[in-house]
Structure 1
Amino acid sequence: MEEQLLVSAAEKIPGGGGDGESLVLCEVKKQVCLAGPLIVGYLLQNVVQMISVMFVGHLGELALSSASVATSFAAVTGFSLLFGMACSLDTLCGQAFGAGQHHMVGVYNQRAMVVLGLASVPVAALWTYTGEILLLFGQDPEIAAGAGSYIRWMIPTLFVYGPLQCYVRFLQTQSLVVPVMLSSGVAALSHVLVCWVLVYKLRMGSKGAAVANAVSFLTNLSILALYVRLSPSCRTTWTGFSRQAFHGLLGFLKLAVPSALMVCMEWGSFELLVLLSGLLPNPKLEAAVLSICLNTNAFAFMVPLGLGGAISTRVSNELGAGRPQAARLAARVVMMLALAVGASEGLLMLLVRNVWGYAYSNEQEVAAYIARMMPILAVSILFDGLQGVLSGVVRGCGQQKMGACVNLAAYYLVGIPVALFAAFVCHLGGMGLWFGILCGLVVQMLLLLAISFCATNWEKEAMRAKDRVFTSSLPGDMANVDYSTGQVHPVYLCGRISKIEVLGTGCYSTFTLNKIYRETMENFVRVL
């Protein structure tokens, strides 16, 4: 009976008095308003490191090569890890906000900053030995030494990047995305001046460009922190630092680790393409073409990435509020948007295929190779966009473990083996490598599609979301409820040990958990 009431309540979507078309249009507006500022914000955050590399490029070929290698190494070994772990807040903060447990949004944010800060320590130690690691993998000694020096000066950036991503998710899950865009804009604009001062005026060279990343990210973080502290919009979600942030760290890691694996396996597979291109005949040409394709794909992915952030917010908010039908509608709408965006971007790539290469190189050979790559790149942009928004649906539901398994299978059991076979056995070169990644993207998209629309029981996901928020918001003593047996473990209360029996056994809906909470509180009063 209780579960039927929950499902019945979940069917009531706000604004549900209209027809289906009006609901879809309303959902489209919500997602576009969320995704627009996020897309601009992500683009501006990526521009920061691009500007640093551009400044280094004017210092010489060796400095540029070293900075490029260091940036790729940092992305795979550090930034992808922190970005992925922060993505767990898409689930936790989003569902807590939707459920009305606003204070838990701030607690989750603080907890994430603690965990990401601790995770940054071993990464910083790894970065200290980057030069030696690159030498072990056969990198040119001069480039390895330069990359090692550059990345050591990027270590402060690592400790700023984690909290920055946490604040972005903290605001995003409350649909406060305009401050994210504006702060990223200020940081990107000031970054040009910071780079100029450090690289040329203070004559720090490439080291100055690396330090400039930390300065600009810190500027971004400071603006967001001030907004959260002073804005009335965050009054209920940020109530100051809490000792609760240091509780439940292992529980947070159970969601953060799979979330990080999702991102790391995806980013790593694309970076692996550049390494494999060095083993092909004419490696300079192959590496240059694949780098251009990666940059183009990354630029095109900013739109699906923003849509993915928007849909993770919409799904997590609706599930936390107990509205599974609204969450399912949001997932369907974002697929239509992603399909339209991917098709448009792919068509644009085909239209400019004969001139796009000249934007990166004056070499006719490079431009001609890019033109041949464009059809397969256009298709990969479409599927990459679809998997990007489906990954957002997975994060909104809290199914990161499933997502990590999908990425492992798609890229490392299908994509990379096919890339190796096509490039080195079929002698297709760089086109073969990219074809392998395309196969991985197709498999990833199909598996995520099956999970999101065939295997997901949205009503159960709404119950899980409510239960997750409920158990997290319990006081420390109350958190010892064993929901599989309906028994509260011995707790210490006002100097007395009391074993309290509560409701029976079975699968608990949100109503049952609320009943457990009420009855346990009544028993606490009796003990007193």
Structure 2
Amino acid sequence: MTREHRAGSIDSSLSQTPTERSPLLPSSKVDENGWSTEFKWLLKNSLPVIGTYLLQNSLQMASIFTLGHLGPTELAASALASMFASVSAWSLAFGTTTALDTLCSQAWTGAHDKTLVGVHLQRALLILAVMFLPIAVVWWNATRILLALDQEPGLALHAGLFLRYLLLGAPAFIAFEAIKKFLQAQGIMQASTYVLMFTSPLNLAINYMFVYVEPFKMGFIGAPLATSISYWVMLLSLLAYIKFVDGRQAWGGWTREALTGWWPFLRLAIPGILMVCTEWWAFELAALAASYLGTIDLAAQSILLTSNSATYTIPYGISVAASNRVGNALGEGLAQKARRASFMALMFAIGFGALNSTFFLVTRSHFGYLFTSDLEVVQRVSYILPLCALFQIADGLAGVCGGVIRGLGRQKVAAWINLFAYYVVAIPLGFYLTFKANWSLIGLWTGLSVALFIGASGECLFLFMVDWYAEVKRTQDRVHKEEDKHHHILEEA
């Protein structure tokens, strides 16, 4: 990809101000890429993103794995703290950074001055910093909150302690997510994968060392402290990649412009938060509900959630690549390329969803033994896995459609669909089937399956109705406005 530096980039190729050099008729852009090109691009760029999220998910799992040998309270506390962190922080940060999927990808190809992408990143980092202040207060008082929610005192105390030490690394984890989006918008998908290929095994080693090995041996608090250090290593490594390898072309240095334009950013970020949190929290509610069903169901639920989270990284990786591809195409003014990219992504979702489904069906009788030797738990997992297999294609379609919608900047559409699917239909239905109709764990998963089919159907229907030429005009109007403002501030400086 061509690198364009800040020097001499004040003139905008998108400026709407006519000059003596302006053509009388606008030039029509032609997309010469075909379906095979789109297939190769998506495959090549999805794989590193899938790897990134698999490795990223392993960071907190390392703490659970390490602390499992200390005792049941420590193991349960680390799992509870991880769930608390996901609900109160990670889901909010991931939702906020969906605005970067739209703004950065569209600005990278739509703006002549590539440093506009860096301004979007700066704005996101400042907004995330403000958001982190109440999150820090909540984490610091997590023990009190968990006690108020009637958690067992020893469990609440350990989970609160875990979160206080994890708080040291939380800003780095959140910033990493935003900077990763900054690079992905430029087509640099592999940077975060390289960083995590180094950080993930390092994290496991530091976790073990801080918990068990002298002279570092700290017991329980060693795990969250090690994870916090790993988060900072991860962030600093990614910044080093930008400085010494690739990605600097979109960074023009810190600017006061980042202190302005927060509301347009939040208009994408707020529905992005709803879009992410509605689904994320629904699955966490299902996990909480399973705790009232008994030990066997709770253990089976843990295995099912872990497994489905792992398989979901495939459509999620495709969705991130597709989001940037669609955003880039809209910024270029190539409506048909954006449309083709979206439909190729949907075909990927169906294909990989079918593979996931086949895997669960073929292995259902023995799958549970990967996690436990308890026959009852294995049988319960085997009983529910066909239902999980059934919704794999819907889960993939919903995830990939969400990515395309982020590329379009239509997060609000996905937010409303998810709110309806999960909180009007799925949660009430799942809880009724589980606790009133006595379907037990199958009731919860039936509700979640219905939500995924509704979400996938609604989002696919929306994408089939999109006027791609109108979306190009809307995108370029926004980029024109942002770039004109950007140039005005640069000229004043």
Q: Would the TM-score normalized by the shorter structure come out above 0.5?
A: yes
Structure 1 match to 2:283 = 270
Tell me the secondary structure at the aligned position of residue 105 of structure 1.
helix
Shift of 1:164: 0.1
Residue 245, structure 1, aligned to residue 258, structure 2: yes
1:217-366 equivalent positions in 2, closer than 5 A = 217-231=231-245, 233-280=246-293, 283-366=294-377
Which residue of structure 1 aligns with residue 477 of structure 2? 467
Runs (5+) with no aligned partner, structure 1: 16-22, 480-491, 495-528
| Aligned counterparts of 1:84 and 1:475: Cα–Cα separation in 2 | 26
Paired with 2:474 and 2:220, the residues of 1 have a C-alpha distance of: 49
1:109-188 equivalences in 2 (<5 Å): 109-188=121-200
> How far is the alpha carbon of 1:476 from its aligned partner?
6.6
Residue aligning to 2:19: none
Which residue number in structure 2 is paired with residue 380 of structure 1? Answer: 391
Partner of 1:57: 68
Distance 1:441 1:14 in 2: 35
Which residue in 2 is equivalent to 1:447? Answer: 458
Q: What is the CA–CA distance in structure 2 between the aligned matches of 1:92 and 1:348, rounded to whole Å?
A: 37
Map Cα deviations across residues 482-507 of structure 1 (whole Å, 9 max, x no partner).
Answer: xxxxxxxxxx999xxxxxxxxxxxxx
How far 1:180 moved relative to its partner? 1.4
Give 1:475 deviation, angstroms: 3.2
Could you say which structure has the greater relative contact order, defined with CA pairs below 8 angstroms and 6 or more residues apart?
2
Kept in 1, the 8 Å contact 2:101–2:327? The answer is yes
2: CA distance between counterparts of 1:13 and 1:331? 15
Q: 1:211 aligns with which of 225, 250, 262?
A: 225
Does the 8 A contact of 1:44 with 1:188 survive in 2? Answer: yes
Counterparts of 1:212 and 1:407 in 2: how far apart (Å)?
A: 36
Which one is further off, 146-155 or 191-200? 191-200
1:425 shift after superposition: 1.9
Deviation at 1:126?
Answer: 0.8
Matched residue type, 2:249: T
CA–CA separation in structure 2 for the residues paired with 1:158 and 1:9: 47
* Equivalent residue runs for 1:370-519 within 5 Å: 370-454=381-465, 456-475=466-485
* CA distance 1:412–1:311, change in 2 (3 Å): same
Q: Which amino acid aligns with 1:57?
A: G
Q: Report the CA distance shift for 1:13/1:478 in structure 2 as closer, same or farther (over 3 A).
A: same
Which amino acid in 2 is paired with 1:161?
Answer: F
| Structure 1 counterpart of 2:5 | none
**Residue equivalent to 1:517:** none
- Gap regions ≥5 residues in structure 2: 1-15, 17-24
* Partner in structure 2 of residue 526 of structure 1: none
User: Larger C-alpha radius of gyration, 1 or 2?
Assistant: 1
Distance 1:380 1:76 in 2: 24
Cα drift, residue 234 of structure 1: 2.6
For residue 383 of structure 2, give the secondary structure of its aligned residue in structure 1: helix
Does the CA contact (< 8 Å) of 1:229 and 1:238 recur in 2? no
Aligned to 1:367: 378
| TM-score, scaled relative to structure 1 | 0.85
Residue 77 of structure 1 corresponds to which residue in structure 2? Answer: 88
Matched with 2:205 is 193
Q: Measured at CA, do residues 493 and 347 of structure 1 come closer, stay the same or move farther in structure 2, by a change above 3 Å? A: closer
Greater displacement, 468-477 / 155-164? 468-477
Q: Could you say which residue in structure 2 is the equivalent of 1:38?
A: 49
Question: What is the aligned-residue RMSD (CA, Å)?
Answer: 1.9
Q: Secondary structure at the match of 1:236?
A: helix
How many residue pairs get aligned? The number is 467
What are the superposed Cα offsets for residues 64-93 of structure 1, whole Å, 9 maximum, x if unpaired?
A: 001101100110111110111112101000
Contact kept? 2:170, 2:231, Cα under 8 Å: no
Question: Distance in 2 between the 1:330 and 1:183 partners?
Answer: 28
User: Per the alignment, in what secondary structure is the counterpart of residue 472 of structure 2?
Assistant: helix
The one-letter amino acid of 1:309's match is: V
| In 2, Cα distance between equivalents of 1:235 and 1:129 | 39
Change (3 A) 1:175 1:369: same
Deviation at 1:9, TM superposition (A): 2.4
Deviation of residue 225 (structure 1)?
0.7
Q: Is the 8 A contact 1:38 1:309 kept in 2?
A: yes
Letter of the 2:217 partner, please give it: R
Q: Deviation of residue 467 (structure 1)? A: 1.4
**Preserved contact between residue 98 and residue 268 of structure 2 (Cα < 8 Å):** no
- Which moves more between the two structures, 194-203 or 257-266? 194-203
Displacement, 1:285?
A: 1.2
Give 4+ residue runs of structure 1 displaced > 6 Å after superposition: none
How far the C-alpha of 1:44 sits from its partner, in A, is 0.7
Q: Give, as a single letter, the amino acid of the residue that structure 2 aligns with 1:122.
A: P
More deviation in 25-34 or 94-103? 94-103
With normalisation by structure 2, the TM-score equals 0.91
CA contact (8 A) 1:346 1:378 kept: yes
Q: Secondary structure at the match of 1:9?
A: coil
Q: Measure the CA separation in 2 of the matches of 1:477 and 1:173.
A: 21
> What SS does the corresponding residue of 2:391 show, helix, strand or coil?
helix
Separation (CA, whole Å) in 1 of partners of 2:404 and 2:154: 44
Q: What do the CA deviations read for 1:460-518 (whole angstroms, capped 9, x no partner)?
A: 11111111112112237969xxxxxxxxxxxx999xxxxxxxxxxxxxxxxxxxxxxxx
Listed one character per residue, the Cα deviations across residues 410-440 of structure 1 (whole Å, up to 9, x for unaligned) are 1101110110121112211001101000001
Question: Is the partner of 1:176 in helix, strand or coil?
Answer: coil
Question: Quick one: percent identity of the two aligned structures?
Answer: 33
